[in-house]
Amino acid sequence: MRSVLVVDDEPYVTRVTRLCLERAGYEVEVVADGKEALELLRWRQFDAVITDIVMPRMSGRELCTTIRESMPELDLPLLVLTSSSEEEHRDWARELPRTELLEKPVSPRQLVERLAELLGDDKSGDRP
């Protein structure tokens, strides 16, 4: 079973995200900010990270940059969720390898399909 780390400080968002990913067959771990995510990534292996951009203590942007620069051995896809449609965020995400930006609101189906594509999983027939 593939494992996904979800990083978001909004409990409702993490509950819905966890539910849709678990229904699609993923194991899900949830943390509330980038600092917690980095600690967990130091001792546990994940297949992908899904993160919000705006969070306390360490933003999703800082988290992704730190993963790519300080943990290059973690060649995992990073899926960044944002409510901002600013081009700056799109440019930043394009610069990091295996990092994609999805604009909120994201449907559960879209989230699962995009994650499956990034991981090379066939989830086309699943209904989250």
d(CA 45, CA 106): 26
pLDDT at 89: 60
CA distances to 9, 18, 65, 108 from 22, rounded to whole Å, are: 19, 6, 27, 11
pLDDT score at 98: 83
Q: What is the pLDDT of residues 17-52, one digit of tens each?
A: 999 999 999 999 999 999 999 999 999 999 999 999
**98 phi-psi bin (left φ>0, alpha ψ -120 to 50, beta other):** left
Sequence ranges of the domains in the chain: 3-119
Q: What fold does the segment set 3-119 form as a domain? A: Rossmann fold (3.40.50)
* Digit-coded pLDDT (tens) for 59-104: 898 999 999 999 888 889 999 988 766 666 666 667 777 888 888 8
Cα dist. 86→52, 59, 83, 89, 92 in Å?
15, 16, 9, 6, 10
